[in-house]
Structure formats: structure tokens, C-alpha cells
Amino acid sequence: MEKNRSSFTSKIGFVLAAAGSAVGLGNLWRFPYLAAQHGGGIFLLVYLILSVTFGFSLMVAEIAIGRKTGLSAIGAFNKINKKCSFIGYLAALVPALILPYYSVIGGWVIKYLTVFCTGGASTAAADGYFDGFIGNTWQSLLFFAIFIGVTAVVVLLGVEKGVEKVSKIMMPILVVISVGVAAFVCISNGIRGEWEGLLYYLKPDFSNFSIMTVVAAMGQLFYSMSLAMGIMITYGSYMKKDVNLESSAHQIEFFDMGIAFLAGLMIVPSVVSYSGIEGLNKGPGLMFVTLPKVFNEMGPVLGNVIGALFFVLVLFAALTSSISLMETVVSIIQDKFHLERKVSCSIVLGASFLIGLPSALGFGVWSGFTPMGMDILSFFDFITNSILMPIVAIMTCIVVCYVMKPQAIIDETSLTGKFKLAKLFKAMIYVAPVLLIIILIFAIFEAFGITFGGFLKF
């Protein structure tokens, strides 16, 4: 893979490809339910602050590491220092663990697409429909298998470029539709005089703040921007030296945050108006429970058309992300064990299916099994986002601070002109590991059910 490393020919090519990996279910499915669960406006504010400070800095660091070394994560850390190569492996473990459960959610998207394509808006909007579906063993397995199968076929045939091309058209349409649906939600809430949900989402209420708001926002930041798993290092290795790294990072960040914000605007206020404040704790199913109700409200024809269109777009956003997840794992296995692409792809497909099975069944036949009090899918999500990614991020910062030195990143970023936020970057890269360690400790305590009632609450 390293031998004939191709490059993105233009800045826009790089930004779109990186944004294709970044924008996915993380923005549309994960962000809204976390925002709903962790205080609405205050979560939004914390996320925003973290993303323009820490998220930006880590993104610049990862892209610069990739471009400087010209290698993907494992090779890059190895080149920086032999003793650091384990970080590359740890980073590679993250996409390997995310891909399986990501595909379970991808399967839910396909299911909803089929429902809306067959005019089932009112069926999907009915109470209990979603729970019935995810509790059904064969259905959840079937759609999970279809999603991961399609991802594998694309990776195997090496037609990512084709998918990328299509998604370059789909992404802007997704933005337009999202703006339209969000506007519909705001207007119809306004007409009904229901402001509670909108206020909950848009107005930071400090009494909703807790340390878990920060833990969740930080995990979401990594996940959504595809950070702390070596992916941006790989993308950086394909970036040409004459492309402005700093402004590329800003654009990816802006794109990613914009879509997440819109998704929240579509979903969070609607939850409050349909199911009241208690509905906010619905967890991973939130998007699938709420949006059909919104579409259904648009009337039988428009509702089905917009619903189907929306889920096609979400499916493409999810596929560009799952392809980049699988591609990463496949190429690592291929390089490491000198396997043919076909073999490596089959191994990853088989392993991911097996690892994903418990997540797919965790809402039905295996719902009695609740590691650390979570459903199995949330457990995998927690381990990767709240434990592994902070660890990889801490190590990346430490390597940048003490092995490479921040100046190396600043120099790489300054190749095309002054690195405007160099001071912020330098401060963040030193401060972040300390914050991350604190966050990690809280996350672990929380997982074991030790909560900090009132602690760090305003």
C-alpha cells in the first residue's frame, strides 16, 4: 500500500474525502441522542468549545504526522520511534471494533429506507415499531449482513472512488434536505407553540452540566471527526505538501459540526414535542424512533418521499464512513501478514460479522446480557469511544510533545504559510493529555456505576 501512495490532487479533493469519512452516522445518529441525553444546549456548547480547541489541534497533529511521514498509523508511529509503534496498533484496534456495531446501525438505516420506499411512513411512525424491529432476530441480522456485505464488496472491488463520487453529489443534497427538515421541525413546533424542545437544544442550561457531559462530548468528538484511530494520519499521508493543512482541518471540522448541529435540530426538539422530556433518554434508537414521526407529520405522500430520500442520503454518508473503517483494517492485515486483498477482506468481513452479532442481537434474544449495565451495542460504543480513543489521543499528544516536539507539527503545517493558530495548538497539545486522563478516570468510574452525584455540577 505504501509503495504506490497516490495523492489527492487538490485541496478540495482532500477535504471532501476526509469529510466523507468524518460525516456519517456519528453526526446523524450519535450526536442527537447524546445531546438529548446530556443536557441539550450545554452539551452543544461543550462540544463546540472542545471541537474548535482540542478537536482542531488533534486533527492538525494527525494530518501533519501522516503527511510528514508519508505513512499510515502503524508505519508512522514506528518511523517516529520504534518504541511508539504499539500506538499504531492500538489505534488500529479502534476501527476494527467500531466497524461491526457501526454496520448494525447501518442495517437499521437500510431497513428504514425499505420501509419508506414502500410507503410505510405511518407504520414506521407507530409507537413500538422500532423496538419490534430491533428485537426481531432475523430482521436485525439480515439488515446488518446486507450493510456489512455491501461495504465489503465496495472495499474488495476497490470501487471506493465510485462511491466517493456519488457521495460528493449526495452530501450537498443531504445538507439541503437536513436544512429543510430542520426548518419544518422548527416551524411546526413554533405553530404549535411548543418551544420547550428547541430551547432545551439551543439554550445552554448550566444546571444540566455534569462531568459526564464532557466525557460524552469528548468521545463524540473523536468518533465524529474520525480522530484517535489513525484514520486522519492515513488521509494526511495522501495529502500533497502544497495543500494548506490548517484551513483543510477547519473545513472538515466545520462540515462535520454543521451536519451534527442540523441533525440535532431535526431530532431533539421533535422528541420533546412527541414524547416529552422523558423521551430524551431513549438512547441509540432516538433517530429511528423520532424522525419517522416527523416525516409522517408531513403527510402520506411527502412524508414517504422525503423519508426515503433522507434515508438514502444517510445510507451514503454511512457507507463512505464504513468503507473507510473497513479499508483501514483490511490494509493493515494485508500489509502485516502479506495476504492477498481478497483474503484479507474476507477475514475482516467474517470477523466483523462475528463481533457484530452480539450487538445486533443485544436488543432482542440477548437483551438480558447487559455488560456494565448497557446493551451490548452501547457497551462496544463505550469501550471504543470513552476508553480506547482517549488512550490513543493521550499517547498521540505525548508523542507529539515529547518525542517529535510540537515544533515539528508546526513546521509541517507552516509549509504553505503561517500556521495562524500555532499558539492554541501548542497549548492544547500539552494541556489535553491532562484533561483526557481526568476524563478517562471519570468514564471508568461511571462505567462501574460509581457516579459523582452533584460533583462538578453547577
Residue where the block lists cell 493529555: 433
Nearer Cβ to ligand PHE (209/222)? 222
Q: Which is nearer to ligand PHE, 41 or 95 (CB)?
A: 95
Using CB positions, name the residue nearest to ligand PHE: 26
Q: Say whether residue 99 binds ligand PHE (CB under 6 A).
A: no
> In the bound complex, what is the minimum distance in angstroms from residue 317's beta carbon to ligand PHE?
7
Rank residues 202 and 314 by Cβ distance to ligand PHE and give the closer one: 314
Binding-site member from 231, 245, 319, 392 for ligand PHE (CB under 6 A): 231
96 vs 115 by CB, closer to ligand PHE: 96
Min CB(27)–ligand PHE separation in Å: 5
Q: Which stretch binds ligand PHE (CB under 6 A): 22-30, 135-143, 245-253, 442-450?
A: 22-30
226 contributes a contact to ligand PHE by CB under 6 A: yes
Work out whether 103 is an interface residue with ligand PHE (CB under 6 A).
Answer: no
# chain residues binding ligand PHE, by CB under 6 A: 16
Say whether residue 389 binds ligand PHE (CB under 6 A).
no
CA distance 222 to 390: 8
Choose between 15 and 198: whose C-beta lies nearer to ligand PHE.
15
**Beta carbon nearer to ligand PHE, 98 or 124:** 98
Residue 324 in the binding site for ligand PHE (CB under 6 A): yes
Instruction: Based on the shown chain and the rule CB under 6 A, indicate whether residue 78 belongs to the binding site for ligand PHE.
Output: no
Q: Is 81 left (phi over 0), alpha (psi -120 to 50) or beta?
A: beta
Q: Output 84 or 98, the one with its CB closest to ligand PHE.
A: 98
Choose, by CB under 6 A, the member of 8, 15, 16, 27 that binds ligand PHE: 27
Q: Which of 248, 251, 304, 321 binds ligand PHE (CB under 6 A)?
A: 321
Residue 6 has φ and ψ, to the nearest 5°, of -85, 170
Closest distance between ligand PHE and the C-beta of residue 21, in Å? 5
Question: Which residue's entry shows cell 510533545?
Answer: 401
Does 167 engage in binding with ligand PHE (CB under 6 A)? Answer: no
Which residues lie near ligand PHE (CB under 6 A)?
21-22, 24-27, 95, 98, 223-224, 226, 229, 231, 321, 324-325
